[in-house]
Amino acid sequence: NNQFISSFRTGYIRCKGVCMPEYYKEFAEDIINMDVRDDDVWVCSFPKTGTTWTQEMAWCIANDLDFEGAKVFLPERFPFLEHTPLFDYRKNPEMQQQLPPYVLNSVKHISNLPGRRFIKAHLPLRLLPKKIQDGSTKAKVIYVTRNPKDTCVSYFHHCQLLEGYKGNFEDFFKIFLDGLVCFGPFWSHVLEFWEASKTNPNILFLKYEDMKKDLISVINRTTEFLNKKLSPDQIDILANHLSFESMKNNRATNYEVVVEINKENNLIDKDKCETGSFMRSGKIGGWKALMTNEMSDQIDLWSKQPLKGSDFSFSS
Ligand code: A3P
């Protein structure tokens, strides 16, 4: 059921109801059947919901605040499982030469990694390895989510900055609501993990808004979940390291390197990368700058049906 469903990226298809690039099909089976190890740490999320923030927090806690080790570029320490299936770099041989193995062949690279693995994934639960879906692994899985209004606005900026989206926000908003952005639709992604987290003690469910409002208590929950111990002083130091300003100025976490490579390869609008950055505003409610009241009402209405009968809510 191939479908042309995106105005800014062609060749998107639905896989088990999820919007994915067609190239992903070549990796789908390998991912489903992939071995999951009991000492793995996974961070799973819908894009733009605080993934990078959560990854940095989890990595630092699991590695006893090894800030020296944390100077290594985050995607190298904490590779993105479906990176290769998302971007078919075969079409760009020159760029291929600049890319590290965790980008060029992410699934194979991660499958062969020795030692404790840290794995990021944006795939919804139903497309993740069987062992995570059926809860037969002791791997620690942290899921993070964020209110859909801020997620949508952040995704729009992301697509402009990194994926060559040239349309306006109104069109992007429609694509988002129709579940036609990569990894969409939003609500089933969130609710599937929410339900699974209720019965599986190896899934920790976090919200971006809670991290903004009370990072210390989220650090505490994550530390306990990862069976670690941190002193109050260490927690303060970690909270500073994880502040928006600190992560924005940290080349290991701010993705400036990726923006630069895309710029060199003319993959992104030069104007956008002069003004834009991956660490953009990091706020709750920033959506108000772009969304009209009508759009906000529309998202509220759109959320009603999937949330019917669910005990899930955002506090803001
Ligand atoms: P904005 O675009 O709203 O600023 P992801 O890592 O899932 O792609 O999410 C990116 C979003 O998380 C961006 O949101 C980014 O600014 C925000 N973010 C990243 N690190 C953060 C931090 N330390 N504090 C607050 N927000 C952060």
pLDDT digits (tens, 9 = 90+) for 163-210: 878 889 999 999 999 999 999 999 999 999 999 999 999 999 999 999
What is the pLDDT of the chain when averaged over all its residues?
93
Ligand 1 first shell, C-beta below 6 A: 45, 47-53, 150, 154, 157, 242-244, 247, 279-282, 286
* Residue 274 reports pLDDT greater than 80: no
203-207, strands of its sheet edge to edge? 118-121, 41-45, 140-145, 203-207
From ligand 1's centre to the CA of 244, what distance in Å? 8
| pLDDT band at 1; cut points 50, 70, 90 | very low
Architecture per CATH, domain 30-307, reads as 3-Layer(aba) Sandwich (3.40)
To 5 degrees, how large is the angle CA 211–CA 59–CA 77?
130
The pTM of the whole model exceeds 0.80 = yes
* Residue 236 reports pLDDT greater than 70: yes
Q: Is 122 a catalytic residue?
A: yes
Domain ranges of the chain: 30-307
pLDDT at 285: 97
Pocket test for ligand 1, best of 150, 248, 279 (most atoms within 8 A of CB): 279
pLDDT at 178: 94
ipTM value for the complex: 1.00
Contacts of 228 (CB under 8 A, 6+ apart): 61, 62, 64
pLDDT at 5: 43
pLDDT at 316: 54
Question: DSSP characters for 240-253?
Answer: HHTSHHHHHT-TTT
pLDDT at 273: 54
Residue range 103-162, pLDDT digits in tens? 999 999 999 999 999 999 999 999 999 999 999 999 999 999 999 999 999 999 999 888
